[in-house]
Structure 1
Amino acid sequence: MNSLRDNLGLSLSGADPHSLEHYERGLAQFQCYAGDPLAAVEAALALRPDFVMAHVLRAYLHLLGTEPEGLAVARQCLQQAQGLPADARERGHLAAIAALLDGHWSRAGLILEDVAIEAPQDILALQAGHQVDFFSGHSRMLRDRIARALPHWRMGMPGYHALLGMYAFGLEENGDYAAAEATGRSAVELQPRDGWAQHAVAHVLEMQNRQREGIAWMRGNQQHWTGDSFFQGHNWWHLALYYLDLGEVDEALALFDGPIFGARSSLVLDLVDAAALLWRLHLQGVELGSRWQAVADGWAPLATAGQYAFNDAHAMMAFVGAGRDEAAAALLAAQHRALHGDADNRRFTAEVGQPLCLALQAFGQGEYRRCVELLRPIRSIAQRFGGSHAQRDLLDLTLLEAALRGGQLALGRALAAERLQAKPHNGVARRYSQRAAELAA
């Protein structure tokens, strides 16, 4: 078996020095969520079609964006790699890809966990596993998967910034904000183009209601996390949230019309951000014009895939906002089919996704008490269908708004007080508290 070692000492079946150069460039780009890692890995495969880990990286690039069309490409990568000589670590990656293709996110996460336990310097196993943890709602593993590997790494090793960036996000999602901020800033100092590390610090500043600092953090490093970054849309979304919390609605709208959705991206992750921002504005009663229609157009060909409940919820926001009842009904039908499958999305949908979509639909129909009834049981378990604390905050905001609009004033006051206690310096929290008090009076 033709094999050499990469810059971390890991054996790579089927590689040669020239294909390895392309592969390592693609891997480095993937770690920053910038550049064109797909082109790099395809260049590696053009030179060495038997390069197993190049097939693996290509598959992950098509799987970890939750794009329905990516499944066919990833399946082709798996089929091509399965017949090639491979070592145990590489076979572990192939097993994880097979699990993801079958929709078994948790199984894939466990497989990648074992790969990284045996080879803690396998940065691709750590990064793919970290993304799987994010999508499947395993918040603790966002931190602990990386923590296990840290003793085997040191400053100067290729990709060390990415390890720190992932660890920072895991720390933030588990409430260790001071350590998360320090670790994330260290990662960005090592590699200013690391969009994931940049976003980890943005999350800390969001959770701690440090909006002005958040704006300074994002604007001060803007030239590095924009440009050819394919993660920049989400980072622009974080910047928009700061402005929205400060009540600077025009700034948030300008970001939506510009870098967040001005190009009308058809990528799922960009559509998620677009819908999430518009829904927050919608809850505040902001006039959005034709913006909902553009986002709903983007979701229309994707929303019946029944692949991932977190995406379904954001598609439903767009369909409710745009008044597309037929599209909403088709989405709910796709969820019904998902409930009869054997993939992890059945659980994501049953526990959180379907009641959330029904609640969003009820909100759009003015059935606010029904919306409240659906949201209250799921708000404390919403992490089970993926996303971050910042993203899932939409459930709490929708619940609070529905309670006030539906005349459930005691509940509205309680929820407003809860939010203000958690975020005493947050403009949105203060406005809700004042509004609840005025309605009660």
Structure 2
Amino acid sequence: MCINDIRGQALTGATADTALLYSNAVHQFAIFAGDPVSAAEGLIQQQPGLVMGHALKAWLYLLGSAPAAVPAARQTIEAAKTLPMNRGERGHLAALDHLAAGRLHDASRVIEDVAIENPRDLLALIAGHQLDYFTGNARMLRDRVARALPAWSPGTPGRHSVLAMYAFGLEENGQYAAAERHGRQAILEEPRDGWARHAVAHVLEMEGRHDEGIAFMREDLQSWTIDSFIAVHNWWHLALYHLELGQIDEVLELVDGPITNMAEPQMLELVDASAMLWRLHLRGVELGGRWRRLTERYQAMWAPGAYAFNDLHAIMAFVGAGRRDLIQATLEAQAFVALSASDNAVFSQEVGYPLMKAFAAFGVGNYAETISLIRPVRAIAARFGGSNAQRDVIDLTLIEAALRSGDRDLAQALAAERIAAKHESPLAKLFARRASGTQCAKCGSSTCGGAPH
């Protein structure tokens, strides 16, 4: 007898009980809450022949982007290969094989076909969506999900997750009104859906609706902060609003609280901490021992060369902590990355390595070099992953380098560019005043040129 999950996906090796447990585990992944890794491991123990239990565990391990997880994921994949499986399950394992070998684009294409054949395979959609995020493929962030939407009629279990993914894809393509509409509908259907909350937060950030963003994030804290493994990233979005408004005390409160006060942080959470501290660093905020503590956390769980986007954020922490040894080791590791057959070799060569060198140059006050390294790659930076909001740190660093180098023409051009994109942005207006020489962000002077002091 064929056993299906609650969305109609055939599950080889399942019982009625384990099919329900699998459906619940995927739901946890879909809303970024609970402990789907433990749920997957429990499934494997209870029903070793359930192929999708193994697949779920491997996806969770590999999409976490922590290098130490790869060997365990490989073991899980190899164990699953010995089991009977259907066509869709075979596709999951083929995609996982590619991902474990660092072939993100191949993994994305294979899991794309799985979802085309079975548009209600929620795990295939989530995995593909995350791969699109890692590879910076904005069109597929939207269109992979758009293809599947007709199969998700109201009332289908997990529809909120599909709406949330579609909302984020729309936002990354600048379709903000539709993105907000779908994201808010997803929240109505499942208030605990952290990815839906995240998608709407992006819209409010990109449209410069910062006060509204603060209210939106604070209106129902329990729904997205309790037992959520995307909570830190959503706290980061709240901090972005406060930072844009110049509310530094509020930002530091969030940094010292939920953004960095994690007993066992995941890689994304270290990236969030680096990204926020660097933005504060650009604003001239004294950060004390925060950089050192963050660097220690990187050293405990991170190794260079796995994913250039993460390596750049590690460089930020090492610059802040004054760890030239770790900066150099990270840069040198990129030479070995270039020799590999992984997609990360391209991510690093085209975007990551120049940016790592640029941020390192900024750290020692070589602003002219920072500018020369960032300008050729800023337009193609999506190729190494992340979101529009995350990659904004590249433009912020370029603008600050132009201001500090005394290159007024470039600073004015970049400030005008930012005003055009975010004409109500207090930060954009501040850049414009500084570029025109009418105000320094640090001391209020019109004569210092924004130099460090």
Task: Please state which band the TM-score falls in when normalised by the shorter chain.
Answer: over 0.9
Match of 1:179 in 2: 178
1:397 corresponds to: 396
1:37-436 alignment to 2 at 5 Å? 37-263=36-262, 265-436=264-435
Structure 2: which 5+ runs fail to align? 439-445, 448-453
In the alignment, the residues of structure 2 paired with residue 328 and residue 305 of structure 1 have an alpha-carbon distance, to the nearest angstrom, of 10
User: Which AA in structure 2 matches 1:243?
Assistant: H
* Distance change in 2, residues 1:423/1:264 (3 Å): farther
Alignment deviations for residues 31-78 of structure 1 (CA, whole Å, 9 cap, x no partner): 000011122222221211010000000101101110111111111110
Q: Deviations over 1:348-404 (max 9, x none)?
A: 000100000000000001100000000000110000000000000000000000011
What is aligned with 1:27? Answer: 26
- Indicate conservation of the 8 Å contact 1:20/1:44, yes or no: no
Structure 1 counterpart SS, 2:40: helix
Change in Cα spacing, 1:40 to 1:303, as seen in structure 2 (3 Å) is closer
Aligned length: 440
1:288–1:217 CA distance, 2 compared to 1 (3 A): same
Alpha-carbon distance in 2 for matches of 1:394, 1:293: 21
1:345 shift after superposition: 0.1
> Which whole-Å CA distance do the structure 2 matches of 1:344 and 1:33 have between them?
26
Task: Name the SS for the 2:288 alignment partner.
Answer: coil
Deviation at 1:226, TM superposition (A): 0.3
Distance 2:355 2:38 in 1: 38
How far apart are residue 263 of structure 1 and its match?
2.7
Inter-partner Cα distance in structure 2 for 1:303 and 1:162? 30
Q: Deviations over 1:286-335 (max 9, x none)?
A: 01111111111111244533110000000000000100000011111111
- Post-superposition Cα deviations, 1:95-124, rounded to whole Å, max 9, x if no partner, equal 000000000000000001111111111111
- Note if contact 1:15-1:48 (Cα within 8 Å) is conserved in structure 2: yes
Give the secondary-structure state (helix, strand or coil) at the position aligned to 2:155: coil
Distance change in 2, residues 1:366/1:320 (3 Å):
same
Cα distance change, pair 39–264 in 1 and its aligned pair in 2 (3 A): closer
Between 177-186 and 325-334, the greater mean CA deviation after superposition: 325-334
SS of residue matched to 2:379: coil
Structure 1 distance, partners of 2:324, 2:396, is 23
CA distance in 2, matches of 1:48, 1:265: 29
Q: Secondary structure at the match of 1:13?
A: coil
Distance 2:183 2:363 in 1: 39
Q: Which amino acid aligns with 1:434?
A: R
Q: Distance in 2 between matches of 1:209 and 1:192?
A: 24
Q: Determine the C-alpha separation between the residues in 2 that align with 1:6 and 1:226.
A: 28
8 Å CA contact 2:308–2:384 kept in 1: the answer is yes
SS in 2 for 1:412: helix
* Shift of residue 214, structure 1, vs aligned partner: 0.3
Question: 156-165 or 424-433: which moved more?
Answer: 424-433
Structure 2 Cα separation of the partners of residues 279 and 305 of structure 1? 19
Alignment partners' CA distance in 2, 1:37 and 1:301: 23
What is the TM-score with the length of structure 2 in the denominator?
0.95
TM-score by length of 1: 0.98
Amino acid at match of 2:204: L
Stretch moving more, 69-78 or 36-45:
36-45
CA distance in 1, matches of 2:430, 2:420: 13
The answer to whether the Cα contact below 8 Å between 1:133 and 1:142 also exists between their aligned partners in 2 is: yes
The percent identity for this pair of structures is 53
Are the aligned partners of 2:145 and 2:166 in contact in 1 as well (CA < 8 Å)?
yes
C-alpha deviation, 1:425, in angstroms = 1.2
Indicate if the aligned counterparts of 1:116 and 1:149 stay in contact, CA closer than 8 A: yes
Amino acid at match of 1:89: G
